[in-house]
């Protein structure tokens, strides 16, 4: 029984369709971020042109245009022009990212070259005899003409090669991981486009080996460019998920502290689920506001912490530090864990003392030191405090007043 054969052309066409849909999805997702940044607009316009070119290259789109518009030649010409615009837009974006001393002059000459190439392409197409589809038939009789295809292929190969070189060079020297990822994806997408046009050049020279593989090159080009377009969106979504996760972890500690210190609230308190779906103010500031209110509540409750409470908190911190230790951890981690445990126990005891005694106990040692120099460090520390707070011991009796020292 003969083995079933795989139709590479049909498989490649299906993969190209999937890649084109990925590009359009990334273009739509990236649209809101293009309003305030020139570079984002350049990348977005390059993505739109590439998506249009790959869409018009699909047989279903070409057949539909031929059926409803009756001018397949115009669709083919527009497809090639969109491809040229996309190549020059990608190249302009790459050159704008490169730290060239004469970058402005380079960009001006690049735009002049793009206009000349587009005008020459239209002129070569018009000068050819009346024709339909733009095809390269094994190099024997390309339509429209060989100079037309040589101009398009050479432009794409040069633009893609320069784009790959600039993206790789820039990615090696930048310290921003999301930018490095986007540059490498953009370079890989340009390399796949270059592979497609290398196949077109081989067809123009009379070789047919690359024809079944060209749709796969475009199929890979689509998702790679889509990923480069969507990289900032994915990064923003990841940050939003992380912020929400940390906000959810801090909620029990925040709720207990603001219950006895309502004066620190920047907005009226709401339920957890209600705040999740209908936040007061911008969602990106929810976590920051909770951190500020927790910090203010800690400063208020510091007045109710007695020496006895501090001693009990240090004992709790020592017991937490000894639990489950199998290897000596880093000293910095130990310090943060010990400080977080002390602060959690002090907060739980001071919270119980606050409503029982309205007179602040000012002659007390300072509250556990937080030592966070950045917002990120303080956020991580307070999340650790929130975790320790759940297991901190509950005070049984209100704290006894601390006698005032006689003046010297």
287: in domain: yes
Same domain, 57 and 198: yes
Least confident of 76-80, 96-100, 371-375, 380-384: 96-100
Q: Are residues 93 and 202 in the same domain?
A: yes
Number of domains in the chain: 2
Backbone angles phi, psi at 143, to 5 degrees: -120, 125
Average pLDDT, the chain: 77
Q: Mean pLDDT, to the nearest integer, of 112-127?
A: 89
Residue 196: other Cβ atoms inside 10 A:
25
Q: What pLDDT band is residue 3 in, cutting at 50, 70 and 90?
A: very low
State the pLDDT at residue 40: 72
Which domain does 233 fall in, by range? 9-237
Same-domain check for residues 223 and 270 = no
More confident residue, 314 or 371: 314
- Give pLDDT, residue 327: 43
193 and 309 co-located in one domain: no
Residue 77 in this model has a pLDDT that exceeds 70: yes
Q: Considering just the CA atoms, what is the radius of gyration of the chain in Å?
A: 32
| Per-residue pLDDT at 95 exceeds 80 | no
Q: By percentage, how much of the chain surpasses pLDDT 90?
A: 5
Distance CA 3, CA 5 (A): 6
Q: Greater confidence, 389 or 143?
A: 389
Listed range (16-20, 70-74, 237-241) with the worst mean pLDDT: 70-74
Would you state the pLDDT for residue 9? 60
Local confidence band at 136 (pLDDT 50, 70, 90 cut-offs): confident
Burial annotation 10-32 (CB, 10 A radius, 16+ → b, else e): eebbebbbebbbbbbebbebbee
Residues 176-207: pLDDT tens digits? 777 788 888 888 988 998 898 898 888 888 77
The C-alpha angle with vertex 15 and arms to 14 and 17, in degrees rounded to 5, equals: 65
Collect all residues with Cβ–Cβ distance below 8 Å to 389 and sequence separation of at least 6.
252, 253, 256, 344, 347, 348
Residues 207 and 152 in one domain: yes
Residue at 242 is within a domain: no
Indicate if 209 and 287 belong to the same structural domain. Answer: no
Better-scored residue on pLDDT, 134 or 113: 113
What is the DSSP code string of 318-359?
HHHHHTT--S---HHHHHHHHHHHHHHHHHHHHHHHHHH--S
Task: Name the percent of the chain in helix, strand, coil, to the closest 5.
Answer: 75, 0, 25
């Amino acid at each position: 029984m003969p083995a079933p054969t795989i139709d590479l052309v049909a498989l490649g066409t299906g993969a190209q369709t999937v890649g084109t849909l990925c590009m359009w999805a990334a273009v739509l997702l990236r649209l809101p971020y293009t309003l305030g940044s020139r570079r984002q607009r350049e990348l977005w316009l390059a993505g739109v042109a590439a998506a249009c070119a790959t869409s018009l290259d699909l047989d279903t789109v070409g057949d539909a245009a031929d059926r409803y518009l009756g001018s397949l030649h115009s669709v083919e010409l527009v497809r090639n022009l969109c491809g040229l615009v996309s190549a020059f837009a990608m190249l302009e974006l790459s050159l704008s990212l490169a730290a060239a001393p004469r970058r402005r002059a380079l960009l001006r000459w690049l735009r002049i070259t793009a206009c000349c190439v587009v005008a020459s392409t239209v002129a070569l197409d018009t000068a050819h005899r009346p024709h339909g589809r733009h095809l390269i038939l094994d190099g024997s009789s390309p339509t429209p003409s060989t100079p037309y295809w040589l101009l398009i292929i050479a432009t794409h190969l040069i633009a893609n090669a320069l784009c790959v070189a600039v993206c790789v060079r820039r990615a090696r020297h930048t310290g921003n991981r999301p930018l490095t990822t986007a540059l490498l994806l953009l370079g890989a997408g340009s390399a796949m486009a270059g592979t497609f046009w290398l196949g077109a050049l081989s067809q123009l020279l009379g070789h047919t080996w690359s024809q079944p593989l060209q749709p796969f090159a475009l199929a890979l080009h689509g998702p790679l460019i889509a990923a480069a377009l969507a990289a900032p969106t994915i990064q923003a979504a990841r940050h939003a998920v992380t912020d929400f996760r940390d906000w959810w972890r801090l909620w029990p500690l925040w709720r207990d502290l603001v219950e006895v210190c309502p004066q620190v609230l920047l907005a009226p308190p709401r339920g957890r689920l209600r705040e999740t779906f209908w936040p007061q103010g911008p969602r990106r500031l929810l976590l920051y506001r909770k951190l500020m209110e927790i910090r203010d509540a800690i400063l208020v409750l510091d007045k109710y912490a007695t020496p006895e409470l501090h001693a009990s908190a240090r004992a709790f911190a020592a017991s937490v530090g000894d639990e489950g230790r199998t290897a000596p951890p880093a000293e910095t981690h130990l310090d943060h864990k010990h400080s977080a445990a002390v602060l959690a126990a002090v907060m739980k005891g001071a919270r119980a003392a606050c409503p029982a005694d309205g007179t602040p106990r000012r002659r007390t040692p300072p509250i556990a030191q937080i030592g966070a120099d950045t917002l990120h460090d303080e956020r991580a520390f307070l999340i650790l405090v929130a975790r320790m707070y759940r297991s901190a011991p509950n005070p049984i009796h209100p704290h006894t007043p601390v006698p005032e020292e006689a003046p010297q």
